[in-house]
Amino acid sequence: MSTAAAPLRQLDAHAVAELRRAAERILSEFGTSATSPALLKRVAEGARTLGDALRHPCRPVDTADGLFVLRGLLVEDAALGPTPAGWATAGDSGAVHDVALLLLASVMGNPIAWEGQQDGRFVHNIVPSPGHEDEQTGASSTVLLSPHTEDAFHPGRAHLLMLGCMRNHDGVATTAACVRRTRLAAGDVDLLTRAVLPILPDDAYADAQGFTDQDPPPVPALYASEDGLTLRFDPAYTPLAAADDEAYRAAYGRLCDELARVSVAVSLSPGEVLVVDNDLVVHGRVPFRARYDGTDRWLKRVSVRVPGRRTRPPAEAGEHGYGQSALEAHAS
């Protein structure tokens, strides 16, 4: 894994001020960033009025790495308050930043949320939580968060993932690897485009209601879309040992190795937003030691669907999604 500067899209001061004013107007009207249909409607309306200085930096991902960093948002550490001890206690912490991220997300596409995750909020607080240090979720800290496609288990997963940095005193890096930078043999691609193994829901959904007892559907790890190779990948929740074909297991291992080879580390600073193409890029996080003193790393996460994209196998539409329903803000 290399440490590299991610492609940057700089927001100028006037654009940042415009975004802040729009977010503050919406927050003053609703008094909370807990998303409701009325708030989401206002966000969609507000996003349509944003000027080109904000809209142009939110254009589709067009870099070879499948990601970029928006830079220039203002996050004042002292005014932010302490890092929450967990998403459940975060409430409206950093609420104006929630709304600002939703406005940017609504320029890029349609923000989505999940009934079974973080109380259905459209902006997730990603913070280390006591008792979750060793899990493969955003609440962990002491373990490597394995590179993965966000919500890989679900056919309605996001096309884009936004990670907005509120606090990162320790420079904890997010890892990212683009499938189109890998070098895979044609035989491996052929094997991995077959639907052999399921991807199971991650532990963030362990307490959610509505899980189905139906058999987990096998899904392909790779897909040859019209524009090139895409992937659906979460090794921590893929029962690789259940694959009967040794050649398949070996090909999957080589995909893991190739993604590790091309992985880059992106250390976000407050006010930066990492945007990754969730069909091309797997992301993770390096281990760190949480202090739980209010100064730990704090990101805000927004998932975005892009209407009209054809980057996934049509057969996905028939999957049951393990009983999880995505909530979509119908922004335009």
pLDDT of residue 325: 84
pTM: 0.94
Q: Which two tokens stand for residue 183?
A: 């070098």
pLDDT digits (tens, 9 = 90+) for 58-109: 999 999 899 999 999 999 999 999 999 887 888 899 999 999 999 999 999 9
The chain-wide mean pLDDT, for the chain, equals 91
Contact of 84 with 125, CB cutoff 8 Å: yes
On the CB side of 330, CA atoms within 13 Å amount to 2
pLDDT of residue 119: 83
pLDDT digits (tens, 9 = 90+) for 126-140: 999 887 677 888 777
Q: What 3-state DSSP class applies to 173?
A: strand
Q: Which domains does the chain have, with CATH numbers?
A: 2-206+214-328 (3.60.130.10)
> Rounded to whole angstroms, what are the CA distances from 126 to 144, 164, 167, 223, 300?
15, 10, 11, 29, 6
Residue that wins the pLDDT comparison between 326 and 301 = 301
Radius of gyration of the chain (CA): 19
